[in-house]
Structure 1
Amino acid sequence: MTMKQLLDSGAHFGHQTRRWNPKMKRFIFTDRNGIYIIDLQQTLTYIDKAYEFVKETVAHGGTILFVGTKKQAQESIADEATRVGMPYVNQRWLGGMLTNFTTVHKRLLRLKELESMEQTGGFEGRTKKEILMLTREKTKLERTLGGIRDMAKVPSAVWIVDTNKEHLAVSEARKLNIPVVAILDTNCDPDLVDYPIPGNDDAIRSAALLTRVVASAVAEGLQARAGRSNDAEAKPDASAEPLAEWEQELLAQSATADGITEGGPEAPREAVAEADSKLAEAPADVADAEKQA
């Protein structure tokens, strides 16, 4: 990850100065034309910490739940989570999805039951009204729970885009002591996040880039877990679960799809100079247009 990638994605743009959380002050470099500019040097540092945490969590058999229901994040959340075989929520967060997972799991079993009925001819012999009701039920369950259909237990950690919008997910994770990894925009509360990444959570490119970084950490963790699995006969490691066959296949796919480049960050002053030039080209109202309130 480089400073230029962050700048190109617009990760440095915060909210307007009148809409901010004072607790975010330490992550703000300056303000330009009434818009806060996030310190991307800190962003790079926190990306490294979050990346290492996610990688180690997955390497030891953990799962990461990707959460992002706002329009700007829905596509990248689904694409990146699917790429590395992790569960995701990109439509609507159902209350109790973590704290009442037993009930949610029953709904997942119902979804699989309906899918099995449809595939094996279980709908045959029923009235049109019954088939319509069953189809609607399946569609509704797919829309709300499709991303977590294979999640057998609560996740080891959650990745969240926009902690304000996903406050229910944050609250439930904290109640269960599940670590929260999230983008911190200038209107967020850093006290609620265990592994923060200061950045723009409203721009599509920024959310997609940071979500891809987390997915890449997951992919690296899966590779590490695969290595440990290969050595299990010589030296068993009870803390790491072996890779499932579908996870082995995902490794090959993610290795080619992973386009995050490695490289040292640029000097922070140079980065801010680039940010200034971008702001000069785009008036305050244009820059603020990227911020979807």
Structure 2
Amino acid sequence: MPQVTMRQMLEAGVHFGHQTRYWNPKMAPYIFGARGKIHIINLEKTVPLFNDAMNFLSSIAQKRGTVLFLGTKRSARESIKEEAERCNMPFMTQRWLGGTLTNFRTVKQSVARLKELEAAETDGTFDKLVKHEVLGLRREREKLDASLGGIKEMNRLPDAIFVIDIGHEDIAIKEAKKLGIPVIAVVDTNYDPALVDYAIPGNDDAIRAVQLYARAAADAVLEGKAAAPNSASVREEEFSAESADEGKGRRAPAKKGDKKADAAAAE
């Protein structure tokens, strides 16, 4: 499991919450106190919860599952995209499209359209069109890519969602809960940690803190993938199974009058 120390969290500003007047009382167990009207998060409570969340992400990846990285707020976009790409997981960093999860079939149709436009641009199809048609299709592609480019290869619903700001991503979290998809999220002092399955009490605004969360999540995924059954071994087992099946198909010539053998040969 990727190790993130309390010192690293302090240096990244994970302990700084929101102004005390905006607090959610359900975060009280995770608040150390206040300094200058800013709540201070108790990192002694955060660290074990953070480790639990990272262990869960690793377990998903070890089972060859998919984790959707989600961070559409400005301070999270770059880190979420970079770390999701590093661990080869889908991501969304622009506005969440309502129904992305609950109406996934329609979303897949839009993704198919995006892939169609990308193919048309590279295979010479655009060269056969007039200029204004090409401009229109490129604008359509750019719009689709901005919204769906990060989930272009996500062929099924994710097995879990990793979220930076639950207030900013409330629609996505509601969709995930409706479908029973586990949510791992950073929860600041102004939100209810009970809204997600794995809450990480921490600063959800500071760029350095967001980088720390996203990097650790990607490391957890990569560690889980590394612990998964070796792909070469899987291919070898599949090859052995295929060879065995072929061997079963090579039966000895049936003796005349042997109905069982004749039937097996016919199969």
Q: Secondary structure at the match of 1:217?
A: helix
TM-score by length of 1: 0.78
Residue of 218, 221, 239 corresponding to 1:218? 221
Quote the offset at 1:125 in angstroms.
2.3
Equivalence for 1:173: 176
Equivalence for 1:87: 90
Change (3 A) 1:125 1:235: closer
Task: Give me the identity figure in percent.
Answer: 50
CA–CA distance in 2 between the matches of 1:164 and 1:95? Answer: 15
Letter in 1 for 2:69: F
Equivalence for 1:29: 32
Number of residue pairs matched by the alignment: 235
CA–CA distance in 2 between the matches of 1:155 and 1:22? Answer: 31
Give 1:1-293 correspondences, 5 Å limit. Answer: 1-227=4-230, 229-232=231-234
Letter in 1 for 2:110: R
CA–CA distance in 2 between the matches of 1:161 and 1:3? Answer: 19
Letter in 1 for 2:65: G
Quote the offset at 1:231 in angstroms.
4.5
Quote the offset at 1:86 in angstroms.
0.3
Q: Secondary structure at the match of 1:211?
A: helix
Larger radius of gyration: 2
Letter in 1 for 2:184: V
C-alpha offsets along residues 188-238 of structure 1, whole Å, 9 cap, x if unaligned? Answer: 1111110111100010000110111111100001101253x45447989xx
Change (3 A) 1:121 1:159: same
Letter in 2 for 1:159: F
C-alpha offsets along residues 234-285 of structure 1, whole Å, 9 cap, x if unaligned? Answer: 989xxxxxxxxxxxxxxxxxxxxxxxxxxxxxxxxxxxxxxxxxxxxxxxxx
Q: Alignment RMSD, CA only?
A: 1.4
Letter in 1 for 2:54: Y
Which structure 2 segments of 5+ residues have no match?
A: 239-267
Dislocated runs of 4+, deviation >2 Å: 229-236
C-alpha offsets along residues 116-156 of structure 1, whole Å, 9 cap, x if unaligned? Answer: 00000111221222111101000101111111110001100
Letter in 1 for 2:71: G
CA–CA distance in 1 between the matches of 2:162 and 2:236? Answer: 34
CA–CA distance in 2 between the matches of 1:232 and 1:127? Answer: 49
CA–CA distance in 1 between the matches of 2:5 and 2:232? Answer: 33
Letter in 2 for 1:196: A
Q: Secondary structure at the match of 2:32?
A: strand
Quote the offset at 1:61 in angstroms.
1.4
CA–CA distance in 1 between the matches of 2:193 and 2:113? Answer: 38
TM-score by length of 2: 0.85
Q: Secondary structure at the match of 2:126?
A: coil
